[in-house]
Amino acid sequence: MSGKTLDEKKLAFVAFCIEEYKTEIGSTGGKVVDYFKKLGVIDYLMEFYDVLHSMSRKEILADIEKFIKNRSKQ
């Protein structure tokens, strides 16, 4: 059996980001998923997986915060 597909890797990365973000802000996974969906964060993470997954945890969380801040201004 071969390794994970790219879509599986992307979904695992999104799950990682949700878990890390919820821990960072002291929230629940469900609330973070709803928030990410509302602002398009999940689509962003999927689209830019190639760049984002190579960053450190701290950099990823900072990038998510920057994306949310920019999206919230709209």
DSSP track, 25-60: HT--HHHHHHHHHHHTHHHHHHHTHHHHTTS-HHHH
Q: Taking a C-beta distance cutoff of 8 angstroms, is the pair 45, 13 a contact?
A: yes
Report how far residue 30's alpha carbon sits from residue 49's, in angstroms, rounded to the nearest whole number: 22
pLDDT of res. 2: 62
- Model pLDDT for residues 9-54, shown as the tens digit of each residue: 999 999 999 999 999 999 999 999 999 999 999 999 999 999 999 9
Q: CA angle at residue 57 from 56 to 63, to 5 degrees?
A: 90
20 C-beta neighbours (distance < 10 Å), count: 16
Is the model's pLDDT at 1 over the cut of 80?
no
The pTM of this model reads 0.91
